[in-house]
Amino acid sequence: MRARILIIEDDSFSRDLVKFLLETAGYSVLVAEDGSVGMSMALESKPDLIICDLQMPVMSGYDVARGLAKQTDWRCVPLIAVTAFSMRGDREKALAAGFDEHISKPIAPEHFIAQIECYLPEALRAGRRLRH
Ligand code: MN
């Protein structure tokens, strides 16, 4: 079974690019355009992995990460920040808020899938090879 991945991103260009890369790789994708909607979708849809921007209206990515961690019924899944915040200290700040990984924008389309797939269990990776 291939993973269902939730993208929380307010910028339509970034959102469409990440969605395109994931769908092309064979993943099932859900999208949210701000942090508040994204957090609700994370709780309701139970995705296998979440890709989240940090700078967003209504609710920032940091608040999404902290908010999910506080939910008693939240089943923890890999949470990956994809963000233009790439100054010294920004990675540490994202990890401290609860993110598992920090990827700087602009993303590298040729490496992006491999960068996020290492956070998925092997059975949920689209590119897995069947053993004979
Ligand atoms: Mn943004």
**pTM, whole model, 2 decimals?**
0.94
Which of helix, strand or coil describes residue 61?
helix
CA separation for the pair 31, 49 (Å, rounded): 12
For 47-58, b where at least 16 C-beta lie within 10 A, e where not — what string? Answer: bbbbbbbbebee
CB 35 within 8 A of CB 56: yes
* pLDDT by 10s per residue, the chain, length 132: 789 999 999 999 999 999 999 999 999 999 999 999 999 999 999 999 999 999 999 999 999 999 999 998 888 899 999 999 989 999 999 999 999 999 999 999 999 999 999 999 999 998 644 455
CA triplet 125, 127, 132: central angle to 5 degrees? 100
**45 Cα–ligand 1 center, Å:** 22
**91 Cα–ligand 1 center, Å:** 16
Q: Which residues contact 85 (CB under 8 A, 6 or more apart)?
A: 54, 55, 93, 94
Q: Which two tokens stand for residue 95?
A: 């990890």
Neighbour order of strands in the sheet with 79-83 = 28-32, 4-8, 49-52, 79-83, 101-104
Residues lying with their CB under 5 A of ligand 1, a single-atom ion: 10-11, 53, 55-56
**129 Cα–ligand 1 center, Å:** 35
